[in-house]
């Protein structure tokens, strides 16, 4: 599908599935090098958006690791509210662990800062941030993004786990808001 309609908005394809998979493989290669010999690092996938990325990424790793989930939200419609709500908290003990946070997208960075603070207070050994998509124009926080599969402009996107008011997550490609229609 080249175009989709979700609620009251139209979207056009901007990143096809094969490109997404190539970029994830490149991130997996870096993780495989960086975590070779690290004992059972913990991946924390931020729901709901990162479920597809997390699934595809973990299939490409060749080291032992654990997986946990957390659910935070800052979006309403097409923009961030700036307020982070914790919908489902940490379900694993993180004290003394090497943790890799897996995000679908980093834009304002509010979720990353909140999660970084939460994990630091919980006593993690070290924290790395891994995201499918990074909006460098929007991200102005101090916390380093260690692994970014794809850098994109500051546009609103859906698909491959990302949604517009809960619709559009199931698409295998990534779509951008189409303002030409």
Q: 97 lies in a domain?
A: yes
Count the domains in the chain.
Answer: 1
Asked if residue 111 lies in contact with residue 84, where contact means CB atoms within 8 angstroms, the answer is yes
In a domain, 163, yes or no: no
For residue 95, the domain's CATH number is 3.40.50.2020
Mean pLDDT, the chain, whole residue set:
91
Asked whether residue 110 is assigned to any structural domain, the reply reads yes
Q: What is the mean pLDDT of residues 74-83?
A: 55
pLDDT of residue 156: 93
Q: What is the span of the domain harbouring residue 93? A: 17-152
pLDDT confidence of residue 160: 98
Residue 12 lies inside a defined structural domain of this protein:
no
Q: State how far the Cα of 159 lies from the Cα of 154, in Å rounded to an integer.
A: 16
**Position 54 in a domain:** yes
Distance (Å, rounded) from C-alpha 79 to C-alpha 169?
A: 16
Cis-peptide, bond into residue 18, ω within 30° of zero:
no
Give the model's pLDDT for residue 71: 83
* Active site (annotated) includes residue 29: no
Q: pTM for the whole thing?
A: 0.91
Does some domain include residue 4? Answer: no
123-145: burial string, b at 16+ Cβ within 10 Å, e else? ebeebbbbbbbbbeebbeeebeb
Share of the chain above pLDDT 70, in %: 89
What's the confidence (pLDDT) of residue 87?
53
Catalytic residue among 107, 155, 163, 173: 107
pLDDT digits (tens, 9 = 90+) for 117-169: 989 999 999 999 999 999 999 999 999 999 999 999 999 999 999 999 999 99
Cα gap 80→95, rounded to integer Å: 30
Contact at 8 Å (CB) between 154 and 138? Answer: yes
Q: What is the pLDDT of residues 91-125, one digit of tens each?
A: 678 999 999 999 999 998 988 998 999 899 999 99
Compare 87 and 142 and report the one with higher pLDDT. Answer: 142
């Amino acid at each position: 599908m080249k175009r989709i309609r979700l609620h009251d908005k139209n979207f056009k394809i901007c990143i096809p599935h094969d490109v997404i998979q190539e970029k994830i493989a490149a991130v997996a290669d870096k993780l495989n090098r960086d975590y070779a010999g690290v004992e059972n690092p913990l991946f924390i996938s931020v729901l709901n958006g990162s479920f597809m990325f997390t699934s595809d990424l973990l299939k490409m790793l060749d080291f032992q690791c654990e997986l946990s989930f957390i659910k935070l939200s800052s979006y309403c419609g097409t923009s961030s509210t700036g307020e982070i709500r914790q919908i489902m908290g940490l379900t694993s003990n993180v004290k003394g662990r090497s943790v890799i946070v897996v995000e679908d997208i980093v834009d304002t960075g509010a979720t990353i800062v909140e999660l970084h603070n939460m994990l630091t207070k919980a006593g993690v050994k070290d924290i790395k941030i891994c995201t499918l998509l990074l909006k460098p124009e929007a991200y102005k926080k101090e916390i380093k993004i260690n692994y970014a599969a794809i850098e994109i402009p500051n546009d609103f996107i859906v698909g491959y786990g990302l949604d517009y008011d809960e619709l559009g997550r199931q698409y295998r490609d990534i779509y951008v808001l189409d303002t030409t229609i």
